[in-house]
Every structure is written in structure tokens, then in C-alpha cells.
Amino acid sequence: MEAFYARSEHGGHPVRHLPTGFEVVWPGGARQYTSARQTIIALVNRTPDPTPTAYDPHMSWNRYFRRGRYSRRSVPNVDIFALFRPDPPNRVAIEHPSVKAKPDTRLTVHLPKPKPVVKPPALGIDLEGRSIEVRKLFYSQFSKGIIAKGYDPEDVLQDIYVALAVRNGGKCPFNPAKGSFANYVCMVCRGTVSNYHRRYGRLTRNEQFGVATFDGEVLDVAQADIASEEATQEYDVRFEGAHSSLTVWIVAAAHDEGIDPTMAEKCLQFIYEGWKFKDIAVHLKCSVTRVSETVKLIRRVATDWQLEMATVV
């Protein structure tokens, strides 16, 4: 008959495995059970007579008593200080002879060649060394059009040199990795020629170099007869008539719409002279909004007056 003991948390009571069942020795006396499950339920609940609703751990006999595969592993008894004791005297250590491996000459390792360091291309154009190339490209592509417009090619070429120098230190210098030298120079030349023409085109529109003769020929001021003057009497008479007619229309419309007729007449005169709304308001001592409403009336009436005059003519 094998003896067991309940776990310490369950009281540690002696338990015997009998041929006819199981017996637990409780403090009040021994009690027998017909199955291992009833025995374990009684031990877990710590009562000889557990009720039908008592807690059931659902544990097997071997697991509860830690038998078989549930048994605890024994810890070897090792003296930790034995690890630090010196070796006994006259101890002979036999070492294996070291075998030197011969290099295998048949195996050849080819290491990759280091990649050459590629320096980034220099940005910009060296005008000291390549100014002649810029000059050739400019004269071959743009000289005919520049001469036809009456410009000096050398003056335009100097502007192109300045534009290239500015771009060398700016955001878009010449980069050989992005395009060719000829395309870059032609692009700069095209933009510079366009700016040159726009600049001197304004001078041509706003300034007159010479005086036109009766035949339409433009002569230098020193050679022209500047005492001659075109007759403008007929133009002045027509302008004054149109101005008076338009004024009558505007005064009548202002009177009908509740706007000061005198103010409308003065605003019309100031518009002829090119005054701004703010200056008109300061001169008439009124608000800019009032001047803006009066000008809207003048423009509307002027449109109706123009259509009426075109129908009469």
C-alpha cells in the first residue's frame, strides 16, 4: 500500500491508496472514497464531505500528487565553491596537436574592383575659354534677325555675355548632364534678344527720332523744317462740339437720377485730364465712393451718346 500526502495548501493530510479505494486521514478521523476524483475534490475543498456543488479542479491523480510526467525534476547538488578550487598538483594536461590547414591554391577569390570616384560636372560656362564659341553660335543663329531690326549685333552680344555670367552664379547654370552646350547658349540668346527687342521697342513707340516731312520721310531735327505745323483748327472745333454735346447728355442724366449736375460736369472734365478718383475726391471735398458712382453714370451715358452719334452720322 503506497502512502501519499496532500499538498501543503490543502492541509498535508496523509492519503493511502487502498485496493478498494482511497483513504484520507482527516484530523477528525479517516474517511474512505471510492474514486480518485472524489478524493481530490475533498482535499481541494478541505472538507471530508464536499457538497455536490463543490469546486472540481478536474485534475488527475498523477498531476495532483506530481507523479510520472508531472513529477518535479531533481536539482543536482553542486558545490559552487568547487568551481574556484585550484587544480590538484602533478596534474598532466594532454592537448591535441594543432593541425595547420594548408591553403587551397585551387580556390581563387576575385574581389570587386573599387568603383572610380566620379566627380560631378562643373556647372556654368567659362566665358574666358569659350567666349568664341558663344560668339559663333550667336552670329550663326541670330545675327540676321538682329540686323534686320536695326540693332547692333555687338551690343546684343555683350548683353548675352552678361546673361551667361549671371546664370553661372544663379539658380540655372549650365549643366552638361542635362543638355548640350549649344542648346543652352541658344536658349539664353533667344531670351536675351527678346528682352533687348522689348526694351528698345518701348523707346521706339514712345520716342521719335527725327521729324516727319510733308512727304512722310523722317529727317533729323537739324535738317527738318520744325517751323511748319499741321492745321488743327478743324479738329479742335469737332472736339469742342462733341464735348459740349456729351456734357449736355450727362447733366440731364445726372438731374434725372438725383446726382449733382455740377459735380458730374466737373468729374467729366477731370476724367479728360486723367485725374484719379482719389485726387478728384480731394478736390471736390467728397468721398471716393461718390466720385465712383458719378463716373459710372458718365461712362453709361457716354456709351449711349456714342451709339446715338453713330446712328446720326
How far is Cα 190 from Cα 219, in angstroms, rounded to an integer? 33
Please report, for the chain, how many H helices and E strands are present, in that order: 10, 6
How far is Cα 85 from Cα 205, in angstroms, rounded to an integer? 112
Largest CA distance in the chain: 154
Q: Each residue of 176-218: pLDDT tens digit?
A: 888 888 898 999 999 999 888 888 877 766 666 666 666 666 6
Residue 211 pairs in a beta bridge with: 219
* Of 33, 34, 40, residue with least CA distance to 11: 40
Q: Which cell numbers hold the place of 236?
A: 479742335
Q: Each residue of 119-133: pLDDT tens digit?
A: 766 788 888 888 889
User: Which residues, at least 6 apart from 251, have a Cβ–Cβ distance to it below 8 Å?
Assistant: 261, 264, 265
pLDDT of residue 221: 62
Q: Each residue of 45-61: pLDDT tens digit?
A: 998 898 989 999 888 88
Read off the pLDDT band of 169 (50, 70, 90). confident
Neighbours of 167 (CB within 10 A): 17
DSSP string, 41-64: HHHHHT-SS--TTS------HHHH
Spans of all domains in the chain: 3-70, 127-206, 233-312
